[in-house]
Each structure stands twice: as C-alpha cells, then as structure tokens.
Structure 1
C-alpha cells in the first residue's frame, strides 16, 4: 500500500507543478521501459472524445515524468474503428487484440470504449502465453464482462480461468436502475417504449432499463431494435405513438445513426418536453448530438460523475483539466477522458506493484487485495478500489444530465445500492 501512496504523491506533485512535457526516453539508464496502450474508436462520431482521452492520458504521463516506480512508461494508441463504419468495428477489434499480444513490451491496455469490442478482445488477451494481458476500461459498462448476465457470461471471456478485465465505472444494471428511478420519480412517466441498437451494449442497457422500469411501476409498452442503416425511423415512431408512450428510451450508441433517430422522434412525437426522450451514456460526449435542435430537453445517464462534478471540488481532477485547457484551448469533450486517466492510474499502480511482466501486472489487480487508488490522489476525487475477484469497482455513481442550450447540464447524481 505504501508504494501506491508514493505513486499518488508523485502524481499529485506533478499535477500541482503542471510540469512541461517530459520525454520518457530520457529516463535514467537501467530502468525497464514498458508500454501501455489505449484501444479506442478514433473515427466517426466518437473521434473527438476518444482523441481527447488519448491527449489527457499522455498529458498525465508527461506530468509524472513517464515514470512509475522502477519503470519508464510509454503510451501507444490503437484505433478500433473504421472510416467506412464510422464506429468501432468487429474486425478492427479482433486485429487489435492480436497486435496487443504481439507487442512484447506492451503490459496493459486502457479500453475499450465499447463493451462489444471488449468482448471480442478480452478472450484473446486472456490466452496470451506470457499473461494474461490486462485490460482496464473507462467506459465498457455491459454487466456480462464481469458477472452473470447472458448465457455463459462472464466465464466465456476468460478461457484460462483467470480474470484480466477491470473497469473504473459501474455497470449498466445500475445505470438502468438509476435512469428508471429518475423517469418515475422526477419525470413522472407512466409508459415507456424501449429501443435498442441490436449491439452488445445497447441490448444490455435496454434490458436493464426495461427491467428496472417495470419494477418502478412504469409500463413498458413496447420494445424494438433500430437498424443503424435505415435512412429514417418515421414508421418506427408511428408505432411508438400508437402505443401511447409518454417516454422513449434509446438503448445504444449515438454512432448508430442516433442523430436521425432523435430527429424522427421529435418529428413524429413532438419535442422532448412532451414525450420524454432518454438515453444512456452511449449518447454522451457527442458534439454532433448537442448541435441538434431536436436534442433539446433530452435526458442522458452517465455511469459515473461528470467532469464538471469531478473538477468542482478541486484536487487532481481540476488541476489536470486546467492543464489540458491551457494546452489545447478547451476542456476535453465529454466525461470519459477523465475516467480514461482514472483507468490509467489503476494500470500504473498495478505496474508499480509488479515485476514488470504481463502476468505480474495482471496479478497485481487480480490477487491479494488488488489495487486501490486513494481518494486524495484519484482523478475522480473518490477512492478507486478494484475487486480482485471480479474486476469491478465499488463506486456506483450514476449521473442524470439534461441537454439544454447545446450542452449537457447536470440534473441529478445518484449512488445506486447493490
């Protein structure tokens, strides 16, 4: 534990000093150089938020001198999206997984952003003969990655029987509970129509919301998938209108033609002050969404606390975001970049506890007491504790946001009970 506190002290000092960039290749001779990577969608609607995540992580590494314990750490970035798809891609994720394993200097992966991509990559990383190779996500929230959800989950992602996936945000079952409670208690909706994008994340979060909504006394009057390739969704929303729903929940990611979906919802059902429109964190952090007049009055849930909430208390989060703003002229897009740094802090703590091997880094998370980042050092302002049995965090914060004036604004924060 003393070594983790030392890591936090170094990071805090570096953040306070707002040091200039440091080239980690100039570290003292004899230290072992390790690579940590990010695996994010760098094309399409997610590009800005993912790019800012990479920039913020690099800034953090620069500020701690690219060093942790006896190791020099460098960052390598991977793109799991394609220009043609404009979002994460199955084949790109599969290739990245093999490329991670092939780079012998790489000891951990920060990512992925999308749960479906994580489910493709984790089994490959798990079977690495020198590992397993650790992945710590800032955004992959599907419950099945760490606990029983769909058939065979989570065991099928860990063929060796050893866990190698962790995350610093809560899961979609808790996000669904929080969104449903807000819909009932604050918005006083009575009938909800639940849509999903037919992908892993979307199916999971839609299921979680529908289950929780029914328990809250909200009638789920219909469930359907939207096809991201369709030019419009007028017929779909005519069906929703006929159901008498006073709420529509979009379970999925904005990348899957979410803009057209929002436009057609308003065109058929009216603005969001009437029939409420809700969506999960797969719709947060998108400048294109915020630019849509039809998104005004839309409610979003986020599996964590927003950057504004995290920086309001000062400390490491505020200092890091201020340094980013000074360097790039504006704050990072969305709230996931800061959680990307939180995931990186977990990886660095694991490296410091390890012998510098893939197996050693992974074992630091999934054996003994695991890894804990003290609240005073964490960029979330809260203690980050990873359960060594599951890889989940014990923080279950969920934020509800309201889109107004072209911005995501704070509506309510909830800490969901287990």
Structure 2
C-alpha cells in the first residue's frame, strides 16, 4: 500500500534527473524495507502503520511524498533473507521515483543493501534505519568496516538508535553492578547483529570482573538446546547472555534455558538484547518470565510520559488500530522518517540531493519540539550516527516488557 501526502511542488526544472519526469510531475517515494513475515511481522506492521499515520498527519512540504512497502523476509525462512535483501536493494535503485529507504530492521540485511544503494548511479541513495545496532555500519568494528559499505567513498547510511558497543557494554555493567553475577555464559545466534552485541558484552564483562565461562553460537536449526545448557550448568555459570534475534529459534533457546538452569527469577538470570524486544511470541512465552532485556532507546511508556509528538501519535495510533504499537520501534521508525523528510524538504528533490542534506555541511537536525523522541535529533554527517544515545533495561513481568531503569551511557 502506498500513501501519498499532498504538498506544494517547487516548479524548478533543474530538479529533474536524467531519464525521470520533472519533479513538478513526480511524487517522491520513500521505501519502507522491513521483515513482514515470521516472528518480527507484528513489530514491522506496527512500524509501517505508525509511519503511514504520521505521514498522513504531516503538513505538506515542498514535494508530495509517498511510502512504498518492501518485504525483506520470506515465509520459508520466517525472518529476513539474504537474497531478498539484495533484490530489494536493486528494486530501490530501479524505482526512479524513490529517493530514500527507511530500514532495514536487521543489521545483516542493511550490510547487504547499503553498498548497492551507495553505488546507485543517481545517488548515492540515502538509507536511515530505526533499529540497526551493529556498530560496523558506521564505525570501525570488523575488518574493512564501515568503508566497505560505501564503495563510492561517500557515506549514505544513517540510523536513529544506539549501537551495540554501548548496548552490550551496558548489559554487562548491569549484570555486574545490579545482578552481582560473576560467571556468565555468552551465546550468539551466529549472525552479524548477535555476534556484535555478544562480543561487546563479553569484552565489558571481563572489565567488570565477570568470568566468561563459555562464549559460543547457538544453531538456529537445532531442535533443542538441552546439551548446550547442561554444559553451561557444568561450567557453574550464574548468568546467561543470549545475543541474537528471537527469530533464530529464540523461543526454544529460552525454554531450554529454564528447563536446565531454572526460572529467570532464580539464581541464573537470562539477559537478552533488543533482538528479543517487541516480539509478541516472546512476551507470551511462560519461560521468558523474569528475563532482562536491554533496548538501545526509550520504551513506549517513557516516550509517552515525556509528552509532545510521541504522546499524540500513540493516542492516534491506538484510536485507529485499537491498541498501541507492538514495540517502541514503531516510534523509532517515525523518527527515521522525520530525518528523511527533513532531508527531502531541504533538497532539490533528487536522490543525490536528499543524501547530501544529511552528509554534507552541518547535516540534518529535527528539533525537540517536532522530534518523536522529544530531543533535538541530529545525524552526524561524518558518520551517520545519531547524537541521542539512550539505553533502557527492562524485565519480562506478567507478559509485559516492564521498564526497570535507564542506564547511563558515556
């Protein structure tokens, strides 16, 4: 479904791109690239609905703007898919009216799409993610990062969420200082995001005096993880950190953790990152009760309590759809949209022009009075990272992700 917002059009022939209609006759398109199938489907639908609703309510800018839905998941896989992400990136480039991409949800998918969008002959094409947390997309992390995502030498990827080098480290600090654990098993789902956040946790755990008694991947295709947790028990771990996404058989992993090591309210707590955040299946899973989560932002309750744009948008969302969004990612999706719209409004209506507004000069700022996060939101033109760094600790309580505390970040 595509939703257009009427607006005044700048009558400037210079805004036309070779091979395109003049901007005066075009509606500029923002692709919304998310996994709409599998366990992440509810969260992705709520992001799309919130973006759609916000766009309907936004006063007209200099160009008419529409959104277009792209699914980067497959029913067979039940999550984002490598080949689908590549095909989506090619489709973004092929759509001559498209000027930016909102997404993707998963860091691994963005790492496949970003270089293709960066080499767009009419671009580079701007990409702004609401939920990618792997550091390597914007800063040195693994070999060749982040340069390999920008073959043209010009950056074109940005995000509005806190990265895993902060999130993983904060989880380890919370484990040491608040939970008083001393021996932790660190697991990852063997994907880009999970490996990155688990690495950050393990590195900080060592600095906090926590012994990492095992550090290994779980096989998302396994039928159970009983043997894995029996080994964790034999290592005398007093905490489990599972870095990854719930889509990768996270439900079975959590159930087997509780079966072997006991409830999360017991002597061996489970800590998970935001790859488990906002999944209804996880919220409803009895074995998830008592698990701690970290989220590289503010939760719905925090954003709503702050008043302003978020409060109004959440009220309108509930009025239209009968319930609040599945997670705070819906509002972070709107924040990513606000960054894109600010760039579009200041641009000449071309892909290159939209990208340049974010990555040249002083970059783009959405003022606190307008920003859904309730703070001045600025994208650093040198990196693509956002100035706002929030980290929330939550706990699964009676099927709900309850806010525990905000964790201070440097």
Give the TM-score taking structure 2 as reference length: 0.94
From 108, 111, 117, the counterpart of 1:119:
111
Displacement of 1:28: 5.6
From 359, 364, 372, the counterpart of 1:379:
372
For residues 415 and 72 of structure 1, what CA distance do their matches in structure 2 show? 40
For residues 282 and 275 of structure 1, what CA distance do their matches in structure 2 show? 20
From 40, 43, 46, the counterpart of 1:49:
43
The yes-or-no answer on 1:236 pairing with 2:228 is yes
Residue in 2 aligned with 1:37? 31
From 247, 264, 272, the counterpart of 1:279:
272
Give the TM-score taking structure 1 as reference length: 0.93
The yes-or-no answer on 1:259 pairing with 2:251 is yes
Displacement of 1:64: 1.2
The yes-or-no answer on 1:393 pairing with 2:373 is no
- Counting matched residue pairs gives 394
The yes-or-no answer on 1:155 pairing with 2:155 is no
For residues 99 and 408 of structure 2, what CA distance do their matches in structure 1 show? 33
Moved more, 176-185 or 296-305: 176-185
Ranges in structure 1 where 5+ consecutive residues have no aligned partner: 1-21
The yes-or-no answer on 1:176 pairing with 2:168 is yes
CA contact (8 A) 1:177 1:416 kept: no
Q: Residue deviations 1:37-57, cap 9 Å, x none? A: 110000000000000100000
For residues 223 and 64 of structure 1, what CA distance do their matches in structure 2 show? 47
Displacement of 1:414: 1.9
Displacement of 1:312: 0.4
The yes-or-no answer on 1:24 pairing with 2:17 is no
Residue in 2 aligned with 1:226? 218
Residue in 2 aligned with 1:210? 202
For residues 58 and 72 of structure 2, what CA distance do their matches in structure 1 show? 28
Residue in 1 aligned with 2:333? 340
For residues 93 and 196 of structure 2, what CA distance do their matches in structure 1 show? 28
The yes-or-no answer on 1:93 pairing with 2:93 is no
CA contact (8 A) 2:27 2:64 kept: yes
Q: Residue deviations 1:99-124, cap 9 Å, x none? A: 00000100000001000000000000
Residue in 2 aligned with 1:16? none
Displacement of 1:152: 0.6
Displacement of 1:405: 0.4
For residues 27 and 412 of structure 1, what CA distance do their matches in structure 2 show? 42
Displacement of 1:415: 3.3
From 392, 396, 406, the counterpart of 1:403:
396
For residues 395 and 26 of structure 1, what CA distance do their matches in structure 2 show? 31
Aligned-partner SS, 1:324 = helix
For residues 392 and 157 of structure 1, what CA distance do their matches in structure 2 show? 15
CA contact (8 A) 1:41 1:47 kept: yes
CA contact (8 A) 1:42 1:80 kept: yes
For residues 315 and 167 of structure 2, what CA distance do their matches in structure 1 show? 29
Q: Residue deviations 1:283-309, cap 9 Å, x none? A: 000110011111010000001011110
Residue in 2 aligned with 1:18? none
For residues 330 and 8 of structure 2, what CA distance do their matches in structure 1 show? 30
Q: Residue deviations 1:311-370, cap 9 Å, x none? A: 102100000010000000000001101000000000000001110000000000000000
For residues 285 and 208 of structure 1, what CA distance do their matches in structure 2 show? 22
Residue in 1 aligned with 2:21? none
CA contact (8 A) 1:396 1:415 kept: no
For residues 348 and 176 of structure 1, what CA distance do their matches in structure 2 show? 31
For residues 391 and 176 of structure 1, what CA distance do their matches in structure 2 show? 20
Displacement of 1:24: 3.4
Residue in 2 aligned with 1:192? 184
From 318, 322, 325, the counterpart of 2:318:
325
Aligned-partner SS, 2:30 = strand
Q: How do 1:304-323 residues align onto structure 2 when only pairs under 5 Å count?
A: 304-323=297-316
Aligned-partner SS, 2:64 = strand
Displacement of 1:25: 6.5
CA contact (8 A) 1:33 1:105 kept: yes
Q: Residue deviations 1:13-69, cap 9 Å, x none? A: xxxxxxxxx97375567654200111000000000000010000000000015x32x
Residue in 1 aligned with 2:347? 354
